[in-house]
Structures are given as C-alpha cells and as structure tokens.
Amino acid sequence: MKARFIMVTGGQRSGKSVFAETLALQMSPHPTYLATAKVMDEEMARRVAIHKDRRKEIWRNIESPLEVKGIDFTDNEVVLIDCLTLWATNWFFERNENVEDSLTALRDQIEWLMTCNTTFIVVTNEVGLGGVSCNSMQRRFADLQGYINQLVASIAEEVYLIVSGIPVKIKG
C-alpha cells in the first residue's frame, strides 16, 4: 500500500484546521499532528497554544519545521500536516527566498512521504486568492505556494476547500 493524501485548503481563519482535525479523528482514535510552524513571536505562540489545547493528549505531536524525511510513521497511521503554507515559508527562507530551490526541497520531502503507508491530511492556504502583491518577495512566495498546492492537489485523493467554515469537496 502507498500513502494516501487528503488536502484541505482555504483562506486564513476559514476553519481548515478544525475540519482537518475532525477528519483525522474520524479515521483514527489517536492521530498524529505534524506541526510545521516556527514560533517566533508571542502572537504565534498563542495560536499554537490554541491548537494544542484543542487537540488534547489523544494526539501524537511531532514538530518539524523543515525535514520530515526519516520520521517514523507507522503503517496505517493518520497524520495531519498543519500546515503546508508554514512549511513552504520555512523552506523559502531557508533557501534564501529562491522559489526553485524551495520547491525542489518541498518536492523531495513530499516524494518521501509518498513512500509511507500512511494517510496524510495536508492543511494549506490559498494565498493567491487575495490578488497580486506589490511586493516582489510576496509574489515569489505566492508562486511557490501555488506550485506546491498544485503538486499536493494532484496526488491527493480528496481535496476540500473551506469557505467561511463550510467544507466544499472539490476532488474525490
């Protein structure tokens, strides 16, 4: 058996994480939460605390802002990756804002995930829905995010778009 991917996308504060957590709990009594955030300020620390409090102790928690290759996932494990946008952000700055290098690194990580006998629920953002930024760095990042979202959507069996807390199944 190979990895199974489910993608959950939408805007900021649309309800993506809550929907993805509910999905994971429907599939497993003890899912894994793979956190990609780097906590760099007090506001981000509060966001992370809210997520952790909501999940309680039934979740296995792994924090990995860059490398996921080599994480020991068990067969048939359900893993929620929250989120692809922060993961892409981390690689973008790790690779000096180079879109191609960042995309290559992310593809390499995702290709490794594809070899696992695991279900991955991937939360991401549609950063490009807000229009084209006047800032060059933001445009490059939006390009990276668009490319990586397309890759994950192409391998996902199911894709959900969350709009104002309402899930709309757009694939599968």
- Report CA torsion sign: 45, 47, 53, 55: negative
Q: Which residue is listed with tokens 């994971």?
A: 24
Burial of 29 from C-beta contacts in 10 A (0-12 / 13-18 / 19+): exposed
d(CA 119, CA 92): 26
Q: What is the 3-state secondary structure (H, E, C) of 80-112?
A: EEECHHHHHHHHHHHCCCCHHHHHHHHHHHHHH
Asked about 51 being catalytic, the answer comes back as yes
Task: Note the helical H segments in the chain.
Answer: 16-27, 42-55, 84-94, 99-113, 136-155
CB atoms within 10 A of CB 6: 23
Q: Of the residues 17, 23, 24, 51, which is catalytic?
A: 51
- Residues with catalytic annotation? 51
